[in-house]
Amino acid sequence: DQQVKQNSPSLSVQEGRISILNCDYTNSMFDYFLWYKKYPAEGPTFLISISSIKDKNEDGRFTVFLNKSAKHLSLHIVPSQPGDSAVYFCAASSRTGANSKLTFGKGITLSVRP
Amino acid sequence: NAGVTQTPKFQVLKTGQSMTLQCAQDMNHEYMSWYRQDPGMGLRLIHYSVGAGITDQGEVPNGYNVSRSTTEDFPLRLLSAAPSQTSVYFCASRRGTGELFFGEGSRLTVL
């Protein structure tokens, strides 16, 4: 059973517009959520995270929103740039100890059109 | 900074052959892990380690062995490769419960 779901496999947006990437989770024990960005032939790189005690975290053009009651989070990229074109993975964990494991979704391919 | 280093970057094996994917990190991270990435499947955890001498299974451990004799190294062994193990493998490490730092990946093809 998939605990972290990214139901849309791809998203295409115009440069300068907002990109909204969605993620749902089923495990109510998850209390830490992260977004990773991956370019082809490279390893994933950390983008932004949010703890369950918050409902929003901002870092420059990137904002993550968390709705605990809906078990839903979203990543907003404003404004979108062609260099943002990549695969975005949502991930979640329960930070109960050093052995907490990070569970990833299947990823969303974002294409930003010039 | 080297970060997480994986070798080899590419490997082709025949069914039944064995090999080891190497992973080293220079950040003094206690936690290290191996993931595989397959089309439409995202990143799935194979094995992980919370420190030297301690390893545990992840979501898809069958067909893989690991050991952790030092803080820096976490090799992944395929004892008898199968075509189902064709994938891109990523090693990752972290300090505490923070974000994971990934290597660049090792692309394995099993014929």
Looking at residue B1, its pLDDT comes to: 65
Residues B90-101 have pLDDT tens digits of 999 998 878 899
Looking at residue A108, its pLDDT comes to: 96
* Averaged pLDDT of chain B: 94
> What percent of chain A stands above pLDDT 70?
97
| Better pLDDT: B80 or A97 | B80
Looking at residue A82, its pLDDT comes to: 96
Residues B1-26 have pLDDT tens digits of 679 999 999 999 999 999 999 999 99
How far, rounded to the nearest angstrom, does the alpha carbon of residue A74 sit from its chain's CA centroid? Answer: 6
Q: Is the pLDDT of residue A101 over 90?
A: no
The average pLDDT across A92-112 equals: 88
Residues B31-44 have pLDDT tens digits of 999 999 998 888 99
Q: How far apart are CA A38 and CA B43, in angstroms?
A: 11
Looking at residue B97, its pLDDT comes to: 77
* Averaged pLDDT of chain A: 94
Q: Is the pLDDT of residue B61 over 80?
A: yes
The average pLDDT across A37-45 equals: 95
Q: Work out the pLDDT band at A99, boundaries 50, 70, 90.
A: confident
How far, rounded to the nearest angstrom, does the alpha carbon of residue B6 sit from its chain's CA centroid? Answer: 8
Q: Is the pLDDT of residue B110 over 80?
A: yes
The average pLDDT across A55-72 equals: 97
Q: Is the pLDDT of residue A55 over 70?
A: yes
* Inter-chain touch A89–B43, beta carbons under 8 Å: yes
On whether any CB of chain B is under 8 Å from the CB of A62, the answer is no
Count Cβ atoms within 10 A of the Cβ of residue A107 and give its class: 0-12 exposed, 13-18 middle, 19 or more buried: buried
How many CB pairs below 8 Å do chains A and B form together?
Answer: 60
Comparing A54-63, A91-100, B73-82, the range with the smallest average pLDDT is: A91-100
Tokens of residue B29, six digits: 């991270």
* Inter-chain touch A45–B102, beta carbons under 8 Å: yes
Distance from CA of B9 to the nearest CA of A (A): 10
* Inter-chain touch A99–B101, beta carbons under 8 Å: no
Q: Is the pLDDT of residue B109 over 80?
A: yes
Choose the mutation target among A49, A94, A104 for the interface with B, i.e. most B CBs under 10 Å.
Answer: A104
